[in-house]
Amino acid sequence: MPDTPDAKLRTPSNLRLRMIASVVMIAVALVALVAGDFLFWLLAVVAALFMMAEWADLHGADAKTKRMAQFALSVPLAIMAPIAAGPHFFVLGLLGAAFFFIAIVHRNAGLAFGAAYVGLPVFALLLIRQQPDGLVLTLWALALVWATDIGAFFTGRSLGGPKLAPRISPAKTWSGLIGGVVLATIFAFALHVGSGLPFRLVIATPFLAVLAQGGDLYESALKRRAGMKDSGNVLPGHGGVLDRLDGIVPVAPVAALLVVLPQLFG
């Protein structure tokens, strides 16, 4: 087998490391989710600050600029704390202000977009968490992405077949995408049967699973443009935080709309 980055990722030792790290990360997220609003917010903030730093690296920012971008994002993140305003809708204005601050000070719209790219998913997940049945709804939003990744990984490895986007991510296949969508939908249906997840969200799950894979491909394209293999190196066997949460980034805001809008107009 050629000694390519993709081949190295498939070595038994690396696969074991990836699986162990994945189990640990999912366990930490579940503990924070169940433990309450504050711990869940705290975990989201820590992840968001790592993501903003990695986003800055992808856009060629130096250390000083990176810290300033994190500082700008930290203001809306702090306001979203349960002991502050929480995920109130005026936080969206603060995220917009962070975008303009970074864009004006550093004259880098791509870097500034990171405020929305990172901040909106945090806002969305916290908003979902505070809804009635927020625990089940947030679990659905997170776990459908996990299930998509797991299903895509193992189905793609087992079946192979035509590549999904060979120029962006050579390891991804159409069979993997289908396997991920199927597993995510099965999980959502299990939540519907076992925990009362609204059936309309089960129906939406396949579309969100595709969106999760789109988020993964988008981040892969950014890394290719920046000439980087991973967005960071803080997660053993996985790379950066952006590498693990790229599917949640587009899914969380759409999931929040699906959860909240029927309550506003129902």
Mean pLDDT of 145-170: 91
User: Where is pLDDT greater, at 148 or 167?
Assistant: 148
Q: Which two tokens stand for residue 217?
A: 């491909």
Q: What average pLDDT does the segment 17-23 reach?
A: 80
Residue whose C-alpha is closest to residue 52's, from 119, 124, 2: 119
Quote the Cα angle for 120-126-127, to 5°: 85
Q: Is 248 left (phi over 0), alpha (psi -120 to 50) or beta?
A: alpha
Inform me whether the pLDDT recorded for 12 exceeds 90.
no
Report which of residues 227 and 265 the model is more confident about.
227
Is the Cα dihedral 118, 100, 112, 251 positive or negative?
positive
pLDDT tens digits for range 227-256: 988 888 887 666 889 989 999 999 999 999
Residue 193 host element (H or E): helix 174-195
pLDDT of residue 222: 94
Task: Output 36 or 204, whichever has higher pLDDT.
Answer: 204
Gap between the Cα atoms of 120 and 247, Å rounded: 13
The more confidently predicted of residues 208 and 161 is 208
Cα–Cα nearest to 217, from 146, 167, 183? 167
Among 16, 117, 119, 111, residue whose Cα is nearest residue 67: 111
pLDDT for the residue numbered 238 = 66
Residue 59 exposed, middle or buried by CB count within 10 Å (0-12, 13-18, 19+): buried
Inform me whether the pLDDT recorded for 8 exceeds 60: no
pLDDT at 266: 59
What pTM, to 2 d.p., does this model score?
Answer: 0.91
For residue 184, which of 215, 155, 153, 206 has the smallest C-alpha distance?
206
Which of 7-16, 66-75, 214-223 bottoms out in mean pLDDT, i.e. has the lowest? 7-16
Please report, for the chain, the start and end positions of each structural domain, with discontinuous segments joined by +.
Answer: 36-130, 133-266
Percent of the chain whose pLDDT exceeds 70: 93
pLDDT of residue 233: 80
- Does the structure show a pLDDT above 80 at 77? yes
